[in-house]
Structure formats: structure tokens, C-alpha cells
Amino acid sequence: MHASVFHRCTPKLAAAKRTIVGRRWMSVRPMMLDGGANPTLPPRKKVTIQHLYQMRRAGTPITMLTAYDFPTARALDTHGVDMALVGDSLAQVCLGLPSTTHLTLDDMLHHTRAVARGATHPFLVADMPFGSYHASPEDAVRSAVRMVQEGHVEAVKLEGGPEIATTVQRITQIGVPVMGHVGLMPQRHAALSGYRVQGRDAAGAREVLDSARALQDAGAFAIVLEAIPHRLAEYITAHLSIPTIGIGAGPGTSGQVLVWDDVMTRWHGKKAKFVRRFADVGHEEGRGVQTYIDAVRSGSFPCSKIEGYEMGSGEWERFLGEVGDKGWRGTADEVQQREENAHANADGASAPRLAQAM
């Protein structure tokens, strides 16, 4: 690296960032869990099923977003989201798998643990992966117990209708809350001939309604309604006694859920009609990566005065003496010498002017 790059670390820039480098922060230090909270707001209360029912009765829309890792979970927790869903959509948006059916229970447990550490106030739900609850109710109970004990979730979500009612009942009987999921069921996308809107004719609408009622009767505490006509979703919501969470189901449900990466424009696959992008994080990420590359290649990052560390007074000279290389001079030494010479020349030029003034 040429010595000239060090001139980009100007005293003005160093002064502007002095407050940032006042402490010797390191990237591996644990973050303060309350660091992002707004101190002017009262502390959040833990969201429970009872709170969700109260919100439904009061007509307060319930907010739900997916989270797959600790930082995203912290964002949901800090900014007041009511429910966090570790959705099996992590198969595509996080793991690069072709569909949710490729996700394993162990994959899910790894991510739920991370989210549970960050989302301490939202009610935490996770999808039971494809194959983890289909073989038998007993197999489903074992999987649900692992989700709670190892994954630290508060509830599990299952896709299906009357055919899984017995499974839902068995899981709820052991004390694990179950959220149902009807309408478009991504785990069955092959059987449904793709990701298609459900309930568009009278027979299909009746099937979705019957499925929702069967899950409620089996003990589900809430139901996700995905990709169904908005009138049907409102009708189902009005005829159930439990909250409904819509995704592509219109505004007439008890609440809404979206995938984090869709909301933040970080997923560049096919955009579903029901997705609204609320921030362009993907663009900012791209800009940040490119700016980083440019800074490294231009030599403006890192700057020894701002992002660097120094040795104690005299320790560098002592080190060079111990290794027998006292004459070694690095780029920083050359820059420092030039700066000292420049200051000396400036002081020398100002002396005659000062004498004339006197």
C-alpha cells in the first residue's frame, strides 16, 4: 500500500469520529439487549395468548412478522411487533432451498433458538416442518415437544384441515399451543399445482371454512389464512371465536403476517401480489457492500487513526530493538515524518511574518 493513502485519514475526519472510538469496541462483544429500545416508551409487556384474544375483542389488529435469526428477532422485539413467526419460509430465504418441504426439524430448531434469544416480548410461534407431524399424532407430539424444549418456542403452527384435527388435539392436550394454517398451504404446493389462491369458488370457499372450523374445534388458539379472497377471510374471521392472521387475505382478519425479507426488499424472487415492501434494505445492503469494496481498494479503509490501535509510548521502538530491526520504517512512519516536516516548515514560514508584525 502506498504511503499516500494515509493522507485520507485527515484530522477533521478523526475528530468527527472521536466519540465513536472512545471505547475499544470489538465486533465479537455481545450487544446490549436494551440498546435499541426507546427510553421514552414504557417497558414492553410480554405478549401472551390472552393478550392476543384481548386485541381481537378490542378490534386492535395483531402484527406478526417472520424472523429467522437473533438480529431480526431483536428488531421485532424492540419495535413492538406482537408475534414473531419462525416460518418454514426460512428454507428459501435463508438456506437457499427450493421449497419448504426440504427443511428439517433440526434446521428449524437451530433457527428458533436464535430467535427465542432475541424476541423476548413477542409471542413466539414456529412452523412444524414438513414430515415432522404427518406420520402419526404420537410422532407429531414428539416433534412439538422438541420444538418447545430444544427450540424454546411458545407455540407451533401446522398446515391442514380436518385431516390434522386429531394431531392438533393431541398436541394441545399436552399443553403446547397450536396455530392452524389454511388456504394456501406452501408445504403442499406440489399437490396444489403451485402457489395458487384458494377458495375462489363456492366449493373451495366452503372447504377453507370447514378446515378453519375443524382446527378451532380441535383446540387451535389462532389460524393463519393465506391467499384466499378477502370476503371469505372476513367471513371466516366473523364466524370463529379465535384470532385469524391473514397473509394475502385482505384487511378483514384479526391481524396480518408477512415475511421479513419481503417487507424489507431483501428477497428478490418472485413477488407475491399480496406483498407490500415497506423498506428497501436490499438496495442499502448493495450500496454498503460496494462502498466497502471501494474503500478497501482505494486505501481509505481502514484508517489507522480512526479504526486502528496503537502501542504504548516507546513500546514500538523497544519491539524493533528486540527483533534487531531498529532501522525498519513502515508506511505510517513515513507519513508521520512528512506531517512533522510540514508542520515544521509552516512554523518556520510564520516566524518572519511574526517578527515583521512586531
Q: Residues near 130 by Cβ (< 8 Å), separated by ≥ 6?
A: 88, 100, 101, 103, 187
- What secondary structure letter does DSSP report for 124? E
Residue 226 annotated among the catalytic residues of the structure: yes
Distance separating alpha carbons of residues 41 and 38, to the nearest angstrom? 6
Strands of the chain, DSSP E: 62-66, 83-86, 123-127, 155-159, 178-183, 222-226, 244-247, 255-258
Residue 159 has a CB neighbour count (10 Å cut-off) of 23
Inter-axis angle of helices 165-173 and 137-149, nearest 10: 50
Distance CA 221, CA 226 (A): 17
- How does strand 155-159 pair with strand 244-247? unpaired
Q: Which grid coordinates are listed for 95?
A: 438456506
- Give the helix, strand, coil percentages of the chain, each rounded to 5: 45, 10, 45
Phi, psi values for residue 141, rounded to 5°: -60, -45
Rounded to 5 degrees, what are φ and ψ at 58?
-80, -10
Give residue for cell 389488529. 61
Which residue out of 226, 310, 322, 339 is catalytically annotated?
226
- Is residue 224 within 8 A of residue 211, CB to CB? The reply is no
d(CA 180, CA 127): 10
Q: Are 48 and 123 in contact (CB under 8 A)?
A: yes
Asked if residue 186 has a cis previous peptide bond (ω within 30° of 0), the answer is no
**So which residues are the catalytic ones?**
226
